[in-house]
Structure 1
């Protein structure tokens, strides 16, 4: 077992893993594009703020944010308090929005999937070799992505895939979970089992499994609570 697997990252380190998984960066650590594993390059947001439960906060800026504006935002970021409630907006929310002259933002909780979490139901790995056996009746759209979103773990109920968790943001250090569960099969524990199975597969690759969502996505938050995920902070972006 490698040393990296033995050392638990701090909340600050997890937030760094998170932003590096979400977005591509240039040599100056400026944001470039959304780090989607499949082909395509959508632009990153202009501003990212990560607040953690340890009280550390840091921000990153897109490559086209002027240096003077970036410095102003950075000073405000340094004054952000410890985060305990993921629904609490940043202390300097209004200032961020005004300085960036924007009305569009995203925010949501960020979690680490602990090593002790195990799937409570049987799950299967979906690959290019077996995808046609499983990806029908609701998950046909995943066929074009399957090579890019490994590992991809599914829960099969009565010969039908009803929930899938796959890697939708990938770096050499961390993977971010992308979870999809069919309507009619939610609230039964299927999603939680799928996420747990995915996390095991990611750890076998010696990477950190991360789970994040939006503050208004209550279904995704219920999965996090059911699994007992480790809350480490809140992300905030301005488009």
Structure 2
């Protein structure tokens, strides 16, 4: 077991890892683009707020948010409350949307995948060498991303992948999970196993495996609950 696994990061540290994984930053710690590992650089949201179960919160602003506005938002962020329910909007939700003149927001829970989370079924790594065989019949779209989204772990039935978890945001400290299960194979516990297998593969690289989703994604929250993931906070963005 590595030193990183022996010492569990705080909720605030995990939220820092999360925002670093989600977005690219400039030297002033302003966010610029969504940190996708494959080619292409979609623009980041203008505002990110990460609230934690410890009561701390952190915020990031896109590079084009005026400094005066950023300072106003930062003061509100410092006054946020402890997160207990991931469905609860930020304390200063209306102020954020008014200041940024936007109602377009996203919000969702963030989890750490504990090192005790292990798969109960056999899972396999998907690489360039075996992707043609494993990704046929539903996951062909993943072939163009396979070199970038590693580790990529699949649960296989009848010779093809039916559930896949892969790294969709990557830094030197942490990876964020991207999870997909073919519709006809959902509800069988496969997703929890590929998440566990992926987390193990990420830890083998000495990085922290993180899992986040949206408040309205009930199936993804189900996976988190069944897998016993450790809830550490809620992310909130305004476009």
Give the 3-state SS of the residue equivalent to 2:37 in structure 1. Answer: coil
Change over 3 Å in CA distance of 1:118–1:145 after alignment to 2: same
Match of 1:79? 79
Match of 1:30? 30
Any idea what the Cα deviations from partners look like across 1:196-239, whole Å, max 9, x if unmatched?
Answer: 00000000000000000000000000000000100000000000
Is 2:168 the partner of 1:203?
Answer: no
* Residue ranges of structure 1 left out of the alignment (5+ in a row): none
Give the 3-state SS of the residue equivalent to 2:50 in structure 1. Answer: strand
Mapped to 1, the partners of 2:113 and 2:52 lie a distance apart of 16
Give the 3-state SS of the residue equivalent to 1:184 in structure 2. Answer: helix
Is 2:100 the partner of 1:91?
Answer: no
Mapped to 2, the partners of 1:187 and 1:121 lie a distance apart of 15
Match of 1:9? 9
Deviation at 1:161, TM superposition (A): 1.1
Match of 2:219? 219
Deviation at 1:157, TM superposition (A): 1.4
Runs of 4+ off more than 4 Å = none
Mapped to 2, the partners of 1:4 and 1:134 lie a distance apart of 33
Relative to the length of structure 1, the TM-score reads 0.99
Match of 2:46? 46
* Residue ranges of structure 2 left out of the alignment (5+ in a row): none
Is 2:58 the partner of 1:58?
Answer: yes
Match of 2:103? 103
Mapped to 1, the partners of 2:157 and 2:130 lie a distance apart of 17
Deviation at 1:174, TM superposition (A): 0.1
Mapped to 2, the partners of 1:160 and 1:10 lie a distance apart of 39
Any idea what the Cα deviations from partners look like across 1:87-138, whole Å, max 9, x if unmatched?
Answer: 0000000000000000100000000000001001000000011111101110
Deviation at 1:175, TM superposition (A): 0.1
Q: How does 1:180-199 map to 2 (within 5 A)?
A: 180-199=180-199
Deviation at 1:7, TM superposition (A): 1.4
Match of 1:118? 118
Deviation at 1:5, TM superposition (A): 3.0
Mapped to 2, the partners of 1:130 and 1:163 lie a distance apart of 15
CA contact (8 A) 2:135 2:161 kept: yes
Q: RMSD of aligned C-alpha atoms?
A: 0.7
Relative to the length of structure 2, the TM-score reads 0.99
Match of 2:136? 136
